[in-house]
Structure 1
Amino acid sequence: MATKDNLTAVLYGIEDMRLEQRPIPVPKDHQVLLKMESVGICGSDVHYLVSGRIGPFIVEKPMIIGHEASGTVLQVGKDVKSLKPGDRVAIEPGVGCRVCSFCKEGDYHLCAEMIFCATPPVDGNLSRYYVHDADFCYKLPDNVSLDEGALMEPLSVGVHACKRANVRFGDVVLILGAGPIGLVTLLSAKAMGATKTIITDVVEGRLKKAKEIGADYTLKIEKNMSEEQIVKTIKELLGEDPNISLDCTGVEQCVRVALQATKTGGVVTLVGLGKFEMNLPLTSALIREVDIRGVFRYNNDYPTAIEMVKTGKANVKTLITHHYKIEDTVKAFHTAKTGEGNPIKILIHASADWKP
């Protein structure tokens, strides 16, 4: 390649993000070399910057950040048949071992050997150039932009959460939390046929966006509201009990509300990760046979997410609030960290060709 510019965003430790040149990687036989385009900032990226760790995953050596991404294929390995130079792709950031029972059964996201972008010690993809396994790069339809391609990662979380909850036409759905994951879960629930939806949050601006993208009801949680009041208000607004609840916060109070508000025989799906241990009203949920299901990332959900955007069932473009070029990565993370300007989804543009 003529260029040697592979500007890369590297997290060295707590509050220590640096831009530096890295060698342009060479694809293996089953990989593609990508000219990176749009990379979204995820809450986990911010958490690594602020805390240096998420649970057992600790930043112990410099790590390239970024995992919500799209790019354009520049070069393909000799065994790659599915892609060609010039193809625009969404990049699924997690690759399993392919040989364990989980991978063989299609649950590759549960693989113990999972390699996931920007999860220590694995590097992410906020670079000018990046290599990735070709079978985890999904070609974008002509009517889906590269910016939307980067949002296939969070949208896939919403798709997977709604598949786990078995959302179908006619369902009455409660979503707790209207951050980026709550909003993509709302988009997914509506696309899958949820007839009536309500979403809660403590921030009015997020609820306004939720209303714009299809929420039937919104509820702002005030500091002085008791759990009983929250549950009662949810049911009053809906006119009935939700048969599916999805918590996208990980906050103990929200999980408790989900368990208490959900209709007898319904499903509570926990999407957000919070404290390792919580005090929850389990007995009431158990004797009412409320199913409690966990969610971890996604598997085989990118094609569904892309199809939802292609067909207009889900408008992710409306969630993008901020754009930065890669040279302004530190500034972009400052916006994400402080919430200045009410960001929902921040995109960093890795290509030197990008113009605002």
Structure 2
Amino acid sequence: MRASVLLGAGHVEVQERPVPAVPPGEVLVQVASVGVCGSDVHYWRHMRIGDYVVDAPLVLGHEVSGRVVAVGEGVDADRVGGRVGVEPQRPCLACGQCLAGRYNLCPRMRFFATPPVDGAFVEYVAVPAVFAHPLPDELSDDAGALLEPLSVGIAAVRKAGTVPGDRVLVAGAGPIGVIVAQVARAFGAAEVVVSDPVRERREAALRAGATSVLDPAAEEVAGLGVDAFVDCSGVAAAVVAGIGALRPAGRAVVVGLGDADMVLPVATIQDRELTLTGIFRYTGTWPLAAHLVASGQVDLDRLVTGRYGLDDVGAALDADRDPASLKVVVEPGR
């Protein structure tokens, strides 16, 4: 099979690799669509994210959909031919975190496109059958792949405790921010304000369902009095402003990857009894994610602004330099 392999900063190469074997309990998926994530771009440009360092050839891509073409021992043969969205995690399912239902925090986690585990910019991947989730007919292949970032949005909005009638502030109108805005509306938020300094991205957020947008460089964020704040920017100033925008007993969730350390307004957090937390991936989100899309409450297809083949993965990874680009996908069969 063909695989796009990261060999160095800004350097990917299409190589021939064997089609993966299918171990017991797993399925072989012919990849249809793979979303490009900010983490893929970071590895492509910097060869590391925090403690995760690319020190050997690596296949990127972890937002995956496709079709089951073979099954391993113990898997129902009727699954062959079925369309699936792939949850790109391999937890041990035996440690304390896994047994407590927090398998996203498994200390022995193996995750697609996180060194040293290869991802899905390939023609075929083998995955545990339990993490190859059937896709409703209403979902396109692109939407099936983007159930992964939608899962991040669901995890964030759940952590924010969003309930009907809430007012929610989202910082950052990239793909995750726009998805979080849609999920907050689906969870019943009466008002969703999205903050971003880039005009094109604010416009995209409005088209996707935000009730209003603002430019943090020109408009005040602190003092909005929202029930929940979700940071999808990773920018320290945005996090501080968002905390200042919370009403007493409000909730802040940090999603965006940015500075490892930030100076936070501790007095504000104490005086208002605010809750501040983060999220790390997700657990048990795919069925809900598929329902939100199939029912029309979340629109993932409208996020896609570009499609590329395996020969053009480098261009796909650089597409974010265009402010009008929101989400691009790689289609290995293209």
TM exceeds 0.5?
yes
Residue 280 of structure 1 deviates from its aligned partner by 1.2
Q: For structure 2, which runs of at least 5 residues remain unmatched after alignment?
A: none
Counterpart-to-counterpart distance in 1, 2:178 and 2:323: 18
Aligned partner of 2:152 among 153, 157, 163: 157
Native 8 Å contact 1:323 1:347 kept in 2: yes
Q: Amino acid of the residue matched to residue 167 of structure 2?
A: V
Query: 1:242-268 CA distances to partner (integer Å, 9 max, x unpaired)?
Result: 011111111110110111110001111
Native 8 Å contact 2:25 2:128 kept in 1: yes
Residue 279 of structure 1 deviates from its aligned partner by 1.1
Native 8 Å contact 1:323 1:348 kept in 2: yes
Determine whether 1:199 maps to 2:183: no
Determine whether 1:296 maps to 2:291: no
Residue 123 of structure 1 deviates from its aligned partner by 0.6
Counterpart-to-counterpart distance in 1, 2:90 and 2:77: 17
Change (3 A) 1:72 1:295: same
RMSD of Structure 2 on Structure 1 (CA): 1.3
Task: Work out the percentage of aligned pairs sharing the same amino acid.
Answer: 37
Q: Amino acid of the residue matched to residue 293 of structure 2?
A: V
SS in 1 for 2:137: coil
Change (3 A) 1:61 1:104: same
Native 8 Å contact 2:71 2:77 kept in 1: no
Determine whether 1:347 maps to 2:333: no
Query: 1:158-213 CA distances to partner (integer Å, 9 max, x unpaired)?
Result: 00000111111011100011011101111110111101110000111111111111
Native 8 Å contact 1:82 1:135 kept in 2: no
Aligned partner of 2:302 among 318, 343, 355: 318
Native 8 Å contact 1:268 1:290 kept in 2: yes
Tell me the equivalent position of 1:275. 259
Native 8 Å contact 1:76 1:83 kept in 2: no
Counterpart-to-counterpart distance in 1, 2:77 and 2:98: 20
Native 8 Å contact 1:82 1:134 kept in 2: no
Q: Amino acid of the residue matched to residue 143 of structure 1?
A: E
Aligned partner of 2:28 among 21, 30, 33: 33
Tell me the equivalent position of 1:3. none
SS in 2 for 1:63: coil
SS in 1 for 2:138: coil
> TM-score scaled to structure 1, two decimals?
0.91
Aligned residues: 334
Native 8 Å contact 1:83 1:134 kept in 2: no
Determine whether 1:334 maps to 2:318: yes
SS in 2 for 1:160: helix
TM alignment of 1:1-356, pairs within 5 A:
6-81=1-76, 84-222=79-217, 225=218, 229-232=220-223, 235=224, 241-336=225-320, 339-340=321-322, 342-351=324-333, 354=334
Residue 230 of structure 1 deviates from its aligned partner by 3.1
Counterpart-to-counterpart distance in 1, 2:158 and 2:77: 27
Q: Amino acid of the residue matched to residue 316 of structure 2?
A: A
Residue 82 of structure 1 deviates from its aligned partner by 8.6
Residue 327 of structure 1 deviates from its aligned partner by 2.0
Native 8 Å contact 2:254 2:278 kept in 1: yes
Moved over 4 A (4+): none
Q: Amino acid of the residue matched to residue 132 of structure 1?
A: V
Counterpart-to-counterpart distance in 2, 1:292 and 1:329: 37
Counterpart-to-counterpart distance in 1, 2:46 and 2:70: 37
> TM-score scaled to structure 2, two decimals?
0.97
Residue 341 of structure 1 deviates from its aligned partner by 6.5
Counterpart-to-counterpart distance in 1, 2:159 and 2:188: 15
Q: For structure 1, which runs of at least 5 residues remain unmatched after alignment?
A: 1-5, 236-240
Residue 221 of structure 1 deviates from its aligned partner by 2.3
